[in-house]
Structure 1
Amino acid sequence: MQSDLSTSQFNLADLRQWLDEQSKQLGFDSLRVTDTELGEATEHLKEWLAQGRHGQMEYMERHAQLRSDPNLLVPGTVRVICVTMNYLSPQINFDTEWERLGQVTEAVVSIYARGRDYHKVMRNRLQDLAKCIENKIGKFGYRVFTDSAPLMEVELAKKAGLGWRGKHTLLLNRESGSTFFLGEILVDIPLPIDGEQESHCGTCQACIEVCPTQAITAPYQLDARRCISYLTIENPGAIPVEFRSAMGNRIYGCDDCQLICPWNKFAQRSELPDFAQRHGLGNAGLLELWSWTETDFEKRHEGSAIRRIGYSRWRRNLAVALGNALASGVEQDAIRSALSAALDNADPLVEEHIQWALGQH
């Protein structure tokens, strides 16, 4: 990656200011710039991996060295342009989200996943931003990323001043809480660097206390193996029995640590139609989703981040939630009938979770 330009051909400070304007026009909510030095974060990553807290996310360990230095990922990188994009659609109400967690026959899908796949939305707009830069200054070296490469996105965003790392390990800022996506452009242009923000979590422990599986083992320490988001999305195998009851009716991800966070009182709404809820995922029932065939799953999740977990994991998650509904004593006959009817055609992973679910009454 190498620019055809010398820095004398344009004013870097003016270019930096222009980037703010262009990013807003493309739908990004904030933009900051940092260098590639990650300091202590690389040691923290090594310790986290050594403790096995990444679970079966083998790619985390496989690409650990690349994560430690963006210049190894894209040679020639000297700066990282970091952006945020809010995803909270106007229909979302946090009080309603809490209420649905108590409605055991309702299916709860993490808010960020109810619209279009953010990878595609962010990547396309980052590519547009890079092309705008190219049109302004000529050819330069760059690559765009959004949760799609061995890159320590949260650490880079924190270093760039987009926010501070909350005790749940997510990025927080005072303007929009934590309900935003992150994206990056690695560039070979020596842009001015922005400063970091101070942390504003203080003595608050709400995210730690609310976690259903105690996955936040201490402030700023997350054990992915216990996290419902990991268990329902990244985990390819059986969900450990000790965490199934705590999952409740969460079938894809978990938002509890964000819902409880006081800073999300300031969460900003997104008017982008891409992030609007699709296919009734904000108010679907467990039995309704259980009735979907694999064709239904593929069709209705087309263009969605959910599709990548596949039909089997989707059914696995639903089976656990249906078992938890059985344990509460509601709709016993309908749920038992639906689960039993699915046994003959279930693959071994789903069958094991159905059998567990049928034992919950």
Structure 2
Amino acid sequence: MKGLTKEQLVARALEEGFVKVGVCRPDAVPEAAGRLRAFLEAGRHGQMGWMAEREEWRGSAAALWPQARSVLMLAEAYTPDVDPLAGLARRDRGVISVYAQGKDYHDLVKRRLKRLGRWMVEASGCEIKVFVDTAPVMEKPLAQAAGLGWQGKHTNLLGRDLGNWVFLGAIFTTFELEPDVPEVSHCGSCTACLDICPTRAFPAPYQLDARRCISYLTIEHRGPVDMELRACIGNRIYGCDDCLAVCPWNKFAVAAREIGYQPKHGLPELAELAALDDAAFRERFAGSPIKRIGRDRFVRNVLYAIGNSGNPALRHVALRLTGDADPTVAEAAEWAAARLGSAA
């Protein structure tokens, strides 16, 4: 390999816009496979069948690419400028998770990873593979092993100098790098993230049952949401930030540097969103991660929010969709209309 120091690599990554960098071995988290197996056997992945399909790779970074000698884990901040929980009181508006209010992070983070990766290849002659969220890579355990932070009781990564508003990217490389010291939990006795969860999606600290998580229900779950959970969703129409927003370590959160994460969608009116057809949905959310769930699932979420609004004036909006071509949308519209009828 050509000459390339870890210090040079870290400096270059920070120049690219990442806020923290760490290194671990591909086999640094041997317990990950067992944790994943227990999660899957308990059925806590819900409809996310892709988690089981590539379980061997997901449970072992070393199995994913045996030639890799080091894993470079990188954090990119998307810290919001305002309190993301404030919009929950605006019941005629839809609340979108902070990470999805701007451009699609997959594109922005991967672009930065590729630039850094090309520089690594040119500087050292190594081989690389870059990953952002969509590959069978358990980024959060690897990031903890690389010293970026730890998985909190809400199972998300947080750091004493990061907070928890971060995206993670990974570069697997054949280049041998000195690993960093793994981080340990500093959650202490705090249970703020567990206590605020509207659906009680955490069976225990550091454990998540995705089937009850609002982020899962509004993004990954297909078909009708269980009746007992619909009211808990409130006006959250894509994702949920409650457990992230209350973490005390966010007082040390670093500011977002990427202007692409600036909000484009704000707090849109539910009545306006309910009227979107497929073409209008695609146009409105072009370049956004929201686009991937499709119009039907999105409007289903909007109708749940309308039903939870307590505003009888929105009942006519729901009634217009009771004959929608998508049966899940039609059922959600009937539920919302009935709920608002009762409110009236």
Calculate the TM-score normalised by the size of structure 2: 0.96
* Equivalent position amino acid for 1:104 in 2: R
Counterpart selection for 1:358 from 329, 337, 344: 337
Tell me, in whole angstroms, the C-alpha distance in 2 between the residues paired with 1:98 and 1:121.
25
- Match in the other structure for 1:120: 107
- Match in the other structure for 1:323: 307
Whether the 8 Å contact between 1:28 and 1:84 is mirrored in structure 2 is: yes
Whether the 8 Å contact between 2:74 and 2:169 is mirrored in structure 1 is: yes
Matched, 1:57 2:57: no
Tell me, in whole angstroms, the C-alpha distance in 2 between the residues paired with 1:52 and 1:345.
32
Whether the 8 Å contact between 1:109 and 1:254 is mirrored in structure 2 is: yes
The farther-off stretch of 70-79 and 158-167 is 70-79
Counterpart selection for 2:82 from 64, 82, 93: 93
Tell me, in whole angstroms, the C-alpha distance in 1 between the residues paired with 2:110 and 2:213.
27
- Match in the other structure for 1:344: 323
Tell me, in whole angstroms, the C-alpha distance in 1 between the residues paired with 2:171 and 2:162.
22
Q: Displacement, 1:316?
A: 0.5
* Equivalent position amino acid for 1:122 in 2: V
Matched, 1:165 2:165: no
Tell me, in whole angstroms, the C-alpha distance in 1 between the residues paired with 2:85 and 2:78.
19
Matched, 1:304 2:288: yes
Mark the runs of 5 or more structure 2 residues left unpaired by the alignment. none
Q: Displacement, 1:198?
A: 2.6
SS at match of 2:5: helix
Tell me, in whole angstroms, the C-alpha distance in 2 between the residues paired with 1:198 and 1:73.
25
* Equivalent position amino acid for 1:295 in 2: A
Q: Percent of aligned positions with the same letter in both sequences? A: 40
Q: Displacement, 1:273?
A: 1.6
Q: Displacement, 1:98?
A: 2.5
Counterpart selection for 1:29 from 9, 19, 35: 19
Q: Displacement, 1:254?
A: 0.3
Tell me, in whole angstroms, the C-alpha distance in 2 between the residues paired with 1:88 and 1:113.
12
Matched, 1:102 2:105: no
Tell me, in whole angstroms, the C-alpha distance in 2 between the residues paired with 1:160 and 1:359.
51
Tell me, in whole angstroms, the C-alpha distance in 2 between the residues paired with 1:45 and 1:319.
34
Counterpart selection for 1:197 from 153, 161, 183: 183
SS at match of 1:32: strand
Tell me, in whole angstroms, the C-alpha distance in 2 between the residues paired with 1:25 and 1:84.
13
Matched, 1:292 2:276: yes
Q: Displacement, 1:99?
A: 2.7
Q: Deviations over 1:302-350 (max 9, x none)?
A: 111110000000011001000011xx2x2x13x1111112223341110
Alignment of 1:230-245 (within 5 A): 230-245=216-231
Whether the 8 Å contact between 1:86 and 1:270 is mirrored in structure 2 is: yes
The farther-off stretch of 67-76 and 18-27 is 67-76
Matched, 1:256 2:224: no
Tell me, in whole angstroms, the C-alpha distance in 1 between the residues paired with 2:99 and 2:276.
22
Q: Displacement, 1:233?
A: 0.3
Alignment of 1:139-154 (within 5 A): 140-154=126-140
- Match in the other structure for 1:229: 215
Tell me, in whole angstroms, the C-alpha distance in 2 between the residues paired with 1:347 and 1:48.
32
State how many pairs are aligned.
339
* Equivalent position amino acid for 1:230 in 2: Y
Calculate the TM-score normalised by the size of structure 1: 0.91
Q: Displacement, 1:100?
A: 1.6
SS at match of 1:274: helix
Q: Deviations over 1:25-58 (max 9, x none)?
A: 1111111100011211211111111000000100
Matched, 1:131 2:106: no
Tell me, in whole angstroms, the C-alpha distance in 1 between the residues paired with 2:134 and 2:24.
19
Mark the runs of 5 or more structure 1 residues left unpaired by the alignment. none
Q: Displacement, 1:201?
A: 0.5
- Match in the other structure for 1:265: 251
* Equivalent position amino acid for 1:93 in 2: V
Alignment of 1:271-286 (within 5 A): 271-278=257-264, 281-286=265-270
